[in-house]
Structure 1
Amino acid sequence: MKFAVIGGTGLIGSKVVEKLRADGHEAVPCAKSTGVDVISGEGVEKAVAGADVIVDLTNSPTFDEASPEFFRRSMGNLLDAGRKAGVGHFVALSIVGVDQVPELDYYRAKTLQEELLAAGPIPYSIVRATQFMEFVDAIMSWSSDGDTVRLPETPLQPIAAQEVADAVAEAAMGTPLRGVHNIAGPEVFPLDELGRITLAARSDGRTVVTDDTAGMFSVVRGDVLTGRNDASLAPTRYADWLASH
């Protein structure tokens, strides 16, 4: 099978390409650096020509009010090109609980992406993942001030990027779900505790202060960003991931 992996040079995309190739498929990484611009449409039709499956791992360059327009235009261009090319399956990576946090511009944008895909002309699968273990440092940086990191108690269930990529690749090699598959890591942590564990493992002298008004996750209600009962659980525990990174 041939796969057009849009966003195929990024953290997840490069791993998806590697996994698909290891399983004997033709996986073509597509990104701005390869001449594919999902917003202008430049190179999109050429990128998906002859593909059996489109895997969309693109990401808005901002998390603000501009992000919905990014997904509106990118999905429009990809779906149109995929329809013309006769693509039989369109896979997109999204976020567990994304439709439960309308207060966040980026989450509203990802929900729009899902809705456009579900209403589009191509059979589809949506893989929703919990927060990546690789993103914990970035999350802390958003509310870090000198020696203090302020974090809310929001429950998260972090998953390793490699296991996200593996799940996306498996979905892409399978039949269209015409629905959503949730994946998550094996453990739930309050975000403030996750920060403390991370800093301790790295002998980082900063202190985590619990502040339920700090950062973008402060608006999240309850445990909507955890896998809860319907998610497939990946095996890698956060302490093991930290030790290997």
Structure 2
Amino acid sequence: MRVLVVEDDPGLLRQISRALSEVGYSVDPAPDGEEGQFLGETEPYDAIVLDLGLPKIDGLTVLDHWRQSGVAIPVLILTARDTWNQKVAGFDAGADDYLTKPFHMEELLARLRALIRRTAGHANPMLECGSVQLDTRTGKVTSRGAGVTLTAHELKVLSYFMHHQGRVLSQTELIEHVYDQDFDRDSNTIEVFIARLRKKLGAEMIKTHRGRGYSMSPPGESA
């Protein structure tokens, strides 16, 4: 899962980016509204953390621009403004959730997980596909009741598949949501990760659609 963090406080931007990276997100940081607005409308994120008090372009204007442009990525507003009217303005501009500074990082992570799950149509934090289970809170994966050890990138690929079960995902889409902007992207690595996941979870779990991509669905179901 890939997240954009738009925050002008360098220290807080580093803290949020590090916390997200440590739990498996790919993160693109943006220090002002101008860069954040550009990235939000040109890159395919799974969620956005957006501060309202930004230089160059304020957060509410950025959010309103995204929504007017048809950008439907879920947005978590992050701001020091704790008055009710600012919260209302944020929601009216198209925010999906709201967190006031100071905050506990665990709460930000929990709210992001919930936003991403709900956007993909999942209410339960435990995602299931056939015999495979992924606990989005801990990153723990089990198959047929036994724990499965995955590398960080294998887990990123599996998480995207589990959130989008039944959809055919192209290599391009997988690359865009697994790697951050600065990563040296190589489509061959996606094939390697999928081969490893098939070996660990069962070859039948991830299907190949020639010329289109891959899908994950319970055995017996087709994408």
TM-score, length-normalised on structure 1? 0.39
Query: How high is the TM-score relative to the length of structure 2?
Result: 0.42
Higher relative contact order (CA 8 A, sep 6+): 1
